[in-house]
Amino acid sequence: MKTIFYLPEDKKLADELAYKTNFELGRAEIRQFPDGENYIRIDSDVQDKTIFLICRLDHPNKKILNIFFLSHTLKKLGAKKIFLISPYLPYMRQDKSFKQGEAITSVLFADFLSNCIDQLITIDPHLHRFKKLSEIYSIPTITLHLDQLISEWIKKNTTDPFLIGPDEESQPWVSEIANHLSIPFIILEKTRRSDNEVVISLPNITYEEGRTPVIIDDIISTGSSMLATINELSLKGFSNTICIATHALFDDEIYKKLLNAGAGIVISSNSIEHLTNKIDITDLLTDEMIRC
């Protein structure tokens, strides 16, 4: 028997997944006491059941304590196995101590989650210095990929596209999508000077009328990587750049900046709920949940 639990902010996603998988929705009371401390009560029989805990872990700090409380309570009540479905996996970018004394939060967060749940399902996590989640997660993990869905969107919505990856990390997915569509791609060099400042160097490409530049990145957060890339493309004469991100972590101000800088359209997947969502992940998750 498989049951879906969710954090309150992910009710819509959980309802959709329950509808598509035909798995039951578990009942839980999750709220805060007046002093801000969390209250959790599981109100369903979970004995020997496989649990899918749905939680989009963008802005993770305000959610992870509930994951901890829920998973340990579910286990105490006899749940057989707990899968966490976190389409966006946070804390993957601090994968090194860049300065003396810095916490490598990728490793610490992985350790924390590995001690809460039995298995993790996620989509295109940011893998740079760590090449596989198994290097830092001690539980089994399932990584799903969006390249097929992004390829389909590009095919349907663009004419004569060429793909741009803003940095070396983007090479795997950009090359995959370009090969899939048999279209050209370039990978840029990026230097990050601070949280909000990056420098991009664009190779010597020549402007050709009618070609559509499509930047694909896994994350848009401060927007600096996209903005710098759009600006470089504009200097070469390209306009209406299409910006695609798997995980949209950016706010409205940054969205406006991207459009003002020359983005024709900015799209993302609903791994995180966002006004730019155009690529739906629910079928991808449903298929995996049914296989588990």
List the one residue from 3, 225, 229, 286 that touches ligand R5P (CB under 6 A).
225
Contact status: 222 vs ligand R5P (CB under 6 A): yes
Rounded CA separation 26/20 (Å)? 15
List the beta bridge partners of residue 268.
245, 277
Coil, helix or strand at residue 152? helix
Contact status: 276 vs ligand R5P (CB under 6 A): no
Instruction: Please identify which residue in the block is written with the tokens 């709220």.
Output: 31
Tell me which stretch binds ligand R5P (CB under 6 A): 7-15, 24-32, 70-78, 223-231. Answer: 223-231
Subset of 113-142 contacting ligand R5P (CB under 6 A): 126
Give the H/E segment covering residue 269.
strand 263-269
Contact status: 181 vs ligand R5P (CB under 6 A): no
| Closer residue to ligand R5P in complex, CB, 21/269 | 269
List the one residue from 223, 229, 272, 289 that touches ligand R5P (CB under 6 A).
223
Residues binding ligand R5P: what is the number (CB under 6 A)?
16
Query: Which candidate, 213, 214, 225, 218, places its Cα nearest to that of 269?
Result: 218
Contacts of 119 (CB under 8 A, 6+ apart): 81, 82, 83, 84, 139, 140, 141, 142, 292
Subset of 185-204 contacting ligand R5P (CB under 6 A): 198
Number of separate helices (H) and strands (E) present in the chain: 8, 16
Instruction: Please identify which residue in the block is written with the tokens 């009540």.
Output: 77
| Closer residue to ligand R5P in complex, CB, 49/126 | 126
List the one residue from 7, 116, 150, 219 that touches ligand R5P (CB under 6 A).
219
Q: Which residues bind to ligand R5P, rule: CB under 6 A?
A: 93, 126, 166-167, 169-170, 198, 217-225
